[in-house]
Amino acid sequence: MHVARRERSRLPAAERRRQILEVASGLIAERGFWGLSMQDVADGCGLTVPGLLHHVGSKDGLLIAMLEHRDAEDARAWGDSVHDLRGLCAAIVRRNAAQPEIVRLFAVLSAESLAPEHPAHDYFVARQQDALDKLTRLAKPARDAEQLARQVIAMMDGLQLQWLRDQAGTDLVALWESAAETLFVVDPARRAPARIGSRR
């Protein structure tokens, strides 16, 4: 794959670092971590490979730095603005709809890192547990809070994959709104212990 080669120039370390992480994000989103080459990242930054390695130490180091960077950005993005589950989901979906590149980055890395040997494996295991804990806490008043949290996470992940693959411009927010109507339905039959009319 062709990667546009930037002109070389001397940059302050912090700025260069930001540039590197940005370029790497885009490339990993396209080809995954296994498919990423340091040469392409370097070219995209107007650096040579050793120049790049000076900043991130190693290829794995680059990945870790990128994930930490994203976490920091995310944390900055929602502070603790929203305290109800449905509102938080809506906010997440709205933000994601605006940055498909990042969503794809995480979709690809998240699947790739299912392999225990993947350098981001532990990160994504922790991330999933974390998300589940947080959403379960927010879902608390509901019956089966953990199940609801799991389903909400699964639905967001699954819809995002569909959305990313759809050529035509499907609307992620609309997809989610429709799903939320189902997930958060107030159904007397589900609150009652007897489960009238349910299968099983």
Q: Which residues bind DNA (CB under 7 A)?
A: 8-13, 16, 36-40, 46-51, 53-55, 58-60
Among DNA, a copy of itself, none, what does residue 97 contact (CB within 5–8 Å per kind)? none
- Write the burial class of residue 82 (CB in 10 Å: 0-12 exposed, 13-18 middle, 19+ buried): middle
Which of these, 82, 70, 96, 84, lies nearest to 149 by C-alpha position?
Answer: 84
Question: 36 near 27, Cβ under 8 Å?
Answer: yes
Say how far residue 53 (Cα) sits from the centre of its chain: 25
Distance CA 127, CA 129 (A): 6
Question: Cβ closer to a copy of itself: 11 or 107?
Answer: 107
Residue 150 interacts with a copy of itself (CB under 8 A): yes or no = yes
Question: Cβ closer to DNA: 5 or 195?
Answer: 5
To a copy of itself, the closest distance from the beta carbon of 137 in angstroms equals 17
Residue 72 interacts with a copy of itself (CB under 8 A): yes or no = no
Pull the structure tokens for residue 158. Answer: 């699954």
Start-to-end CA span in the chain (Å):
53
Which residue ranges make up the site for a copy of itself (CB under 8 A)?
1, 29-32, 34-35, 86, 104, 107-108, 110-112, 114-115, 117, 124-125, 128, 132, 144, 147, 150-151, 153-159, 161-162, 164-167, 175, 177-179, 181-183, 185-187, 189-190, 197-200
